[in-house]
Structure 1
């Protein structure tokens, strides 16, 4: 069990009734809660959703709170300060005056800083500090009215060879304030991507998906991401730029294994973070198994940090990997499923 969960168990006597667990760790916490506590989970990570589903837990996946009323809420500190603001605002708008919101997190993930975000809503108290974690309690003093989801999006403009795009990014989404360097390096090459059925793996705020739509209105684009806030951002970006929604199919995925088959192309600035931790599994699996999802002659376009060994992984599975660009610390990599001369002999 993670230390964060152990701290919650240590303060078990504070918990009662229908309790909403937000961003909970994927461990054995639920099986250690008392029988008179009714836990409901809220996650925006599709992998975590599947984990809790397998535990037969009452779990909700999405950008909004689960339906119903709650007596209390426990928030496990997310990486993003803006996302925590969103969570707290929505919890306070749903819970009644006098209810408690508990905040739990590791010191290295900034739980003390995060605890200050509780203060606008009511008095706070540190309940515990153990195992390099802390648990705080805030008692709601007054209720507030929920803000619309669109009000939480940050907008910025991306200049492309085919005109400007307005990007909408919700809290916690990768590169929320500006275009990241990797995608900027990749963008000029998107005009070379074969048209047709294209997957944007790790779609984030929808920069790549929107530009592919802008390049060719006949493209069928599958925006794939583990994060519900990313998927919602991509849809908002399409709507903001008046791009045809019938072109777009949004899908929550655990990894590239959930992508459609017989794609003409997969384009990706792949994710490599899970919460505060670095995790290259999703991007390495993309290099290893993307071929299975491509039709004959299908293409893989990918941008990645220069120091990563992705060209070798791609070469092992596609027979060949071409570096289209190497600048600002990033490489644009290309491969396709056409057989090489050795295979044809």
Structure 2
């Protein structure tokens, strides 16, 4: 079959395709045609958008979630993620699935693959196999597979002293602002008053700080938390449970995955796609929010002050107000016309 457009990291793997001809687990794989080139491989994804594309193209061959699929494999490949803490967890999880097999790391040089190769060395003697397309491929033989790591044991837990009482936050590796409250969310937490009553959405929920605060402040409102990342979804569920709160938590790719007839969308929107900066999800939110809001429904979000979001908000939603500005961030509010 034709390879079509292939991620550079996938191209590097395919330069040594004979190493990956057996039962291989590809973790964090891109949504390209790699599975079509490696017929015995299986994917593991924690990105809902990439999972959806892979599932459509290669039905039944990808697993979605925060833990690897059951069973053992001849080899496992980690496509380098952004977070060092997540990389440590993923290496341990993959090593547990390849007894007497090979563990591989592939990633872009500018994303820090050489640094991550030192993390791989915790599992044995490492070696660099290839360097091409601005990417590197490393490997490590696994003689004795470690036990499956306990993801919950790696969670960071902290308490926020809010005006209505302390809020417990549980953050898993790889989640935005892991183990701390970022400045944008801190500012937005101070400006959650006066939202319309009805169904509320925390878009890009991360560890669930905003969602849990909303549920506590508006206990009679239905609440949905949405994020593209399985580790964020799991973190939000843990944060809600730690505070005795209940809400719907969903994995989905962007605002298209959100419910309709919402009273309000509250967001500290994402600006990363993997290791790269990307405002696509936020810009799509601004263009499509009106389709998910009731008449008079409100979009309230925090964003870096330098981003030119107000014209986009006013074009697609309604008059944009700046509710607050501090520390390089602004809180914007707009109601559907």
**Fold in common (TM above 0.5):** yes
User: Shift of the alpha carbon at 1:171?
Assistant: 0.8
Aligned to 2:3: none
Corresponding residue SS for 1:261: coil
Q: Which residue of 1 aligns with 2:253?
A: 254
CA distance in 2 between partners of 1:157 and 1:75 (Å) = 33
Q: Which residue of 1 aligns with 2:324?
A: 325
Shift of 1:32: 2.9
Query: Which whole-Å CA distance do the structure 2 matches of 1:199 and 1:24 have between them?
Result: 29
Residue of structure 2 equivalent to 1:110: 112
Q: Deviations over 1:217-266 (max 9, x none)?
A: 212110000000000000000111222x2xx1111111111111111110
Residue of structure 2 equivalent to 1:287: 286
Q: Does the CA contact (< 8 Å) of 2:204 and 2:226 recur in 1?
A: yes
What residue number does 2:49 align with? 47
| 1:273 to 2:296 alignment | no
CA distance in 2, matches of 1:195, 1:319: 19
Structure-to-structure mapping, 1:79-94, within 5 angstroms? 79-94=82-97
Which shifted more, 281-290 or 203-212? 281-290
Question: Which whole-Å deviations, capped at 9, do the CAs of 1:25-52 have from their partners, x for residues lacking one?
Answer: 222322333xxx5110000001100111
CA–CA distance in 2 between the matches of 1:286 and 1:14? 42
Shift of 1:69: 2.3
Shift of 1:147: 3.1
Q: How far, CA to CA, are the matches of 1:298 and 1:16 in structure 2?
A: 53
Deviations 1:197-234 (A, max 9, x none): 10000000000001011112212110000000000000
Partner of 1:343: none
Partners in 2 of 1:267 and 1:191 — Cα distance? 11
- The residue aligned with 1:5 is 10
TM-score, scaled to structure 2: 0.95
| Runs of 4+ with deviation above 4 angstroms | none
TM-score normalized with structure 1 length = 0.93
Q: Which of 12, 24, 41 is equivalent to 1:19?
A: 24
SS of 1:205's equivalent in the other structure is coil
Query: 1:281: how far off?
Result: 1.2
- Distance, in Å, in 2 between the alignment partners of 1:56 and 1:30 is 7
Q: Aligned match of 1:158 in 157, 160, 171?
A: 160
Contact 2:228–2:252 (Cα < 8 Å) also in 1: yes
Contact 1:16-1:71 at 8 Å conserved across structures? no
Q: Distance in 1 between the 2:77 and 2:242 partners?
A: 34
Q: Is the 8 A contact 1:226 1:254 kept in 2?
A: yes
Cα deviation digits, residues 99-138 of structure 1 (max 9, x gap): 1011111111111111111112111111112222111110
Match of 1:75 in 2: 78
* Aligned pair partner of 1:170 in 169, 172, 181: 172
Q: Structure 2: where are the runs of 5+ without partners? A: 1-5
The structural deviation recorded for 1:169 is 0.8
CA contact (8 A) 1:104 1:111 kept: yes
Offset of 1:67 from its aligned partner? 2.5
SS of match in other structure, 1:324? strand
Match of 1:214 in 2: 216
2:284 aligns to what SS in structure 1?
helix
Q: How large is the Cα RMSD of the aligned pairs?
A: 1.3
Q: Shift in Å at residue 7 of structure 1?
A: 1.1
Hey, what does 2:237 align to over in structure 1?
235
Tell me the distance in 2 between the aligned counterparts of 1:288 and 1:145: 46
* Partner-residue secondary structure (3-state), 1:102: strand
Q: Does 1:143 align with 2:145?
A: yes
1:67 aligned counterpart, secondary structure:
coil
Following TM superposition, by how much is the alpha carbon of 1:305 offset from its aligned partner in structure 2, in angstroms?
Answer: 0.7
